[in-house]
Structure 1
């Protein structure tokens, strides 16, 4: 960690009790108000939005673009994404006027050492997520003091009781859509005429890496198609503190 990053870490660590106060103040705030508060708290150069460019991502990205389209957006290109997701990323960049989308990939030397046959997703999906998502995100977030993400309580599981603002290692983590309902997200897509993810019409209600994503039946939870048949429900970027 360089001197600037160390200084930022100390500053944010001292300010972390602010997370509880921000969560209290923003508990019933709109996504727009929450992003504005995050921007005011740390400034554009120290705030990032992390997006999978998945099936519900356009809603958060659209609100962010309304606040400030130059906020950096981190996209984790794992090497296992659907071609449709990569195309959707480019579609939303153009449609929303996003000015700073950073596609982050896992380190080649790490892949060569730990996943030379590209079958780690099958034998140890947690390890696969670690080298393809958690570690790259840790590198990408190094310059930032806070980050935005699109988790929602209605998605269930570990997300059912997420706060609006929380501590994440040495950073603040804002969940602008924590309070949103599925109906509100659908209304945003309809009212703003947001382009849907290309795989939605094929039955994919939540899209991650290709080997670990399957179609979802109408009566299933949105994320039922992720790591189907396994106890795993999260990739790790929201369950492991990002250092």
Structure 2
């Protein structure tokens, strides 16, 4: 019997945007990509109602029901198991690991967001590429572009995804037609909107600053690379 396809989560959507369909390589350096994935995973737990952010920016579990998605539930369980509440930046630092990136790439392949291909450079060095389906990626970029430009009203998920995209500095590659100053202004305005909910606004603002801080503290990553 075939296993049902797992529901897509924010990390899947982020990987769809973060990998080039022509090259199968990430459009952000490794550290930004891993920080972005960590932030997206945290945002997913908040959107699912499993985790909340207090007034000091620390994460707490809510005691809500499990989602049935192991990556989301497992992240909430890690938050619950921590002896004291920690800020989003601390969690981004903890989750910013190669193992998480590899695991979430495998998950994205499983749910059909990416296609994994293996080959060798000079017949020696193994290289993995992860290609999104061009039409799927184009639709996803256009949907976010519509939200960014105000053509479509933002929902909590699109607002959170745009926040992570902005924190990773992917916005310049995805929305190159929008001048940089206008892009940043619009991304900030989205994070401040009242209609996406207080909890989501909090996680967006926390993740933006956390990803930026972790990237700066670690020197900005290794300049790119494969999955």
TM-score with structure 2 setting the length: 0.31
TM-score with structure 1 setting the length: 0.29
Q: Which has the higher contact order (CA 8 A, sep 6+)?
A: 2
Q: Which has the higher helix share?
A: 2
